[in-house]
Chain A
Amino acid sequence: AQTVTQSQPEMSVQEAETVTLSCTYDTSESNYYLFWYKQPPSRQMILVIRQEAYKQQNATENRFSVNFQKAAKSFSLKISDSQLGDTAMYFCAFILTGTYKYIFGTGTRLKVLA
């Protein structure tokens, strides 16, 4: 069975600094997708970034980028130039290609300090 682990329950970062959130996963399959979602205090889940397992190039969306290490089964999220609006819970998620069920991590609560 697939699992997703986020080992950092809480983190904080100073405004304008860079922070990296960790995510590891376990699967014996080779075709899958990985995601990072942001859940601000409003609790609306927002898709931040997507990574296809077959792509070696790391995904980037503006200030958000990932470090995808397939062999190590690691998928970390880097937030550059942190802003107060980045304060949120961040969830890592995984889905096997051809299936319907997403596996979510337990989340990392990030607080950006002014």
Chain B
Amino acid sequence: SQTIHQWPATLVQPVGSPLSLECTVEGTSNPNLYWYRQAAGRGLQLLFYSVGIGQISSEVPQNLSASRPQDRQFILSSKKLLLSDSGFYLCAWKGQLLYYEQYFGPGTRLTVT
């Protein structure tokens, strides 16, 4: 069966520091991968998605970047964090199946101080 991992689970970082969040998927190949951000009590904001190694589509962020160095690895990065980067970051995957189901990782709670 497929599983998705995210780490770290919780992160507290000062403003101006770098960021690296990692997501890996097991049990599937060539998944579509996604990064979302969720502010407290709010909906999901799509940040990036990737349909293959090295293929990244950016939806919104100016301060964040994403990379996909391996088929089942998706990394979210920042060179200098802003206070507004605080939130709950969710990684998700969608397989090559017919039904377009998307599955989420456990998330990373990021607090920028």
* Residues on the A chain within 8 Å of B42, using CB: 106-107
The reply to whether B106 and A44 contact each other, CB–CB distance below 8 Å, is yes
The reply to whether B104 and A45 contact each other, CB–CB distance below 8 Å, is yes
B19 at the interface (CB under 8 A from A): no
A44-B106, A100-B51 given as contacts; is B43 within 8 A of A50 (CB)? Answer: no
The reply to whether B103 and A50 contact each other, CB–CB distance below 8 Å, is no
Size bracket of the B interface: 20 to 34
Binding site for A on B (CB under 8 A): 32, 34, 38, 41-44, 46, 49, 51, 57, 59, 88, 90, 92, 94, 99-104, 106-107, 109
The reply to whether B43 and A33 contact each other, CB–CB distance below 8 Å, is no
Most chain B beta-carbon neighbours within 10 Å: one of A95, A100, A105: A100
**20 A-B contact pairs sorted by A residue (CB < 8 Å):** A33-B99, A37-B104, A43-B38, A43-B107, A44-B104, A44-B107, A45-B92, A47-B102, A47-B103, A50-B100, A52-B99, A91-B43, A95-B100, A97-B100, A100-B57, A100-B94, A102-B34, A106-B43, A107-B42, A109-B41
* Residues on the B chain within 8 Å of A91, using CB: 43-44
Binding site for B on A (CB under 8 A): 33, 35, 37, 42-47, 50, 52, 91, 93, 95, 97, 100-102, 104-107, 109
- Ranked nearest first, the 8 interchain pairs of A and B with the lowest CB-CB distance are A45-B104, A106-B43, A33-B100, A104-B44, A95-B100, A43-B107, A44-B106, A107-B43
Per the bound structure, the CA–CA distance linking A93 and B101 in Å amounts to 10
Which residue of chain B lies nearest to A46 when distances are taken between CB atoms in the complex? B104
The main secondary structure of chain B at its interface with chain A is strand
The reply to whether A102 and B103 contact each other, CB–CB distance below 8 Å, is no
Q: Please give the distance in Å from B6's CB to the nearest CB on chain A.
A: 10
The reply to whether B90 and A45 contact each other, CB–CB distance below 8 Å, is yes
